Amino acid sequence: MDKLKIFAPATVANVSCAFDILGFALDTVGDEMTFTKTTEKLVQITLPENSNLPTDPLKNVAGVVAIEMLKKANADFGVLIEIDKRIKPGSGIGSSAASSAGAAYGVNRLLGDIYDNAELVQFAMLGEALASGVAHADNVAPAIFGGFALVRSYSPLEVIKLNSPNELFCTVIHPQIEVKTEKSRKILKKNILLKDAVEQWGNIAGLISGLYSEDYDLIGRSLQDKIVEPVRSLFIPLFYDVKKSFMDAGALGGGISGSGPSVFALSRGEKQAEKVAEAMRKVYSQTNIDFDIHVSAINSVGIKEI
């Protein structure tokens, strides 16, 4: 294969109770990336003219992933990566992860699929480390594996793809403000109360159980965050108003998507997810803050060729 084009999905990480270890892929929003083999053994990046992201491959998350993969494989070619960036940076729905995971997938295809999904996650984490200072996998894992992906261990890395109930839909509202992941990590507490940790562990277990048993009420009850949300919500205007609006509209539950400012809610069925979207819209329509809203099924395959 000398050329391919892919869709790299947006993702929701943390899923309220599972900081840094759980995320899921969306189906309706993502980056489009084109990969072309070149005779020069270089990685080249092109972006739309209005993009503020760097084209220097050493400063671009897709670039650092591609460079390491080609180096490790001792490839006899280079790659041109054209990125149609459709996920806004700092949105909280895995902008850097889409580019990082997309690069891992695309370069692997050009190499002849020599790496498995777990290895692709390892490579993609290099991009996340560049973007946020921490090599986390809760966005890149679902982007690559699809559906809900659990990072059971980072050392050694172990990713488990979980069940995704067919009727589960996600609504995400993205207020047009930027929250840098690196900044939002610095404000997190270094120590937490044992009672809060115990409650959080119970919610993680409940959420995973709910996904497998397709118990939608249990999924909703488990979407509680005692540790991160109280701190990061300070960066998100009207967060608790939005949360009240989607719960009143019948959502199962929800919270901050990744590091924010996006807020997600899970619902049973697309019609319910649309009702939640309208409730969220009403909250932000009363402000001067621009916003986007996405309603999506859970993307069970992750990155796909188009």
Catalytic residue list: 128, 181
224/45 Cα distance (integer angstroms): 40
Written as six digits, the tokens of 274 are 């649309």
Peptide bond into 156 cis (omega under 30): yes
Written as six digits, the tokens of 245 are 């609006």
300/285 Cα distance (integer angstroms): 32
Strand 168-175 to strand 263-268: parallel, antiparallel, or no bridges (unpaired)? antiparallel
Instruction: Give the position of tokens 């969306």.
Output: 26
Written as six digits, the tokens of 21 are 């270890």
Number of Cβ atoms within 10 Å of the Cβ of 165:
18
Task: Give the H or E element holding residue 25.
Answer: strand 22-38
